[in-house]
Amino acid sequence: MSEIGAGEGAAIPPPSLSLELIPDSAFKQGARALLRDRMAILGLLTLLLAIFAAIAAPFLAPYDPDAGDGASILAPPFTANHWLGADEQGRDILSRILFGARLAFPEAVIPVLCAAIVGTFLGLIGGYFKGLTGELVMRSLDVVFAIPMVLLAVAIATTLGSGLPTVILSMAVVITPYIARVVATTTAQLRSAPFIDAARCAGLSERRILAQEVIPHVVPAVIVYGATNMGAMVVFAAGFGFLGLGAPPPTADWGAMISGGMKSLASAPWVSTVPGIAIVVVSLAFNYLGDGLRVALDPRLRSRH
């Protein structure tokens, strides 16, 4: 039987070659992963463009968005006067789209930001602490879950009147339990994860575990959930506008624009369709960006190209 010994021409091989190189920092890895996702970049650029357009609306819009011109009622698009046509009151649709963006973005972003902060806080408590505190938090969230968003908006509108604050508040309240639930589920799973036990064995106090181990695990999930939800918020906000709960007329609001164009849908479809397209585009942009972020923020996903 041949004996194995240190043979001639044999070298103890180094560890796997891919680990020879010094790895990049987390930020660089994440940025590179995001740049690799073409749809996410497209989404990001679209959003940046749209935000820029919203900010610069007063300079970009050819007409006053609230001023109707009797002569241009239901004017078709692709004409020199009205690139995107005019609505049932002769107002330029392009200008209204640009100004409408100034409502759409705050309505999408602010509720999610508020909900993210409050929801994460509540979710951490609900998920990490068993016993009375946790249960109390989760059951209260369940109550909010049960409230339909539109009814809540109507209720708030009777006190605050319809308008931007109403919409933002209603959406923030309704979205909070969703985020809280995502956080609570993740946290509850983590509570029994081996690396949390390992952290205890390493002498970390529960508070430090929460801060150093649980929160960094949860934050990327919230960011991704939030980003994708912003897309949904655009649609919901439009829904409020459609129902007349948003900013009062004649303020340009994408949802209100759709509802305004309903009567002339057969003869002048662009009045409703153009704002509809704007909603879809922005919503999709948020979604693709959210997807890209999901990969960029998770070290396990991003190194898999």
Binding site for other proteins (CB under 8 A): 1-2, 4-10, 12-13, 15-16, 19, 22-23, 25-26, 193-195, 197-205, 208, 213, 216-217, 220, 298-300, 303-305
Between 219 and 243, whose beta carbon lies closer to other proteins? 219
Between 151 and 211, whose beta carbon lies closer to other proteins? 211
Between 198 and 265, whose beta carbon lies closer to other proteins? 198
The beta-carbon contacts of 212-218 under 8 Å, at least 24 apart in sequence, are: 214/124, 214/128, 214/187, 214/190, 215/124, 217/186, 217/190, 218/120, 218/123, 218/124, 218/183, 218/186, 218/187, 218/190
Q: Shortest approach of other proteins to residue 280 CB, angstroms?
A: 31
Name residue, tokens 């909603």.
Answer: 279
What end-to-end distance do the CA atoms of the chain give, in Å?
47
Between 25 and 267, whose beta carbon lies closer to other proteins? 25
Q: Shortest approach of other proteins to residue 36 CB, angstroms?
A: 12
Q: Shortest approach of other proteins to residue 227 CB, angstroms?
A: 18
Q: What angle do CA 203, 207, 211 make, to 5 degrees?
A: 100
| 4: three-class secondary structure by DSSP | coil
Q: Shortest approach of other proteins to residue 138 CB, angstroms?
A: 20
Between 145 and 197, whose beta carbon lies closer to other proteins? 197
Between 223 and 281, whose beta carbon lies closer to other proteins? 223
Percentages of the chain per state (helix, strand, coil), in multiples of 5: 70, 0, 30
Q: Shortest approach of other proteins to residue 19 CB, angstroms?
A: 5
- Identity of the residue numbered 225: Y
Q: Shortest approach of other proteins to residue 40 CB, angstroms?
A: 17
- DSSP string of 15-29? S-GGGSSPPPPHHHH
With CA atoms as reference, report the closest residue to 93 among 290, 295, 297, 270. 270
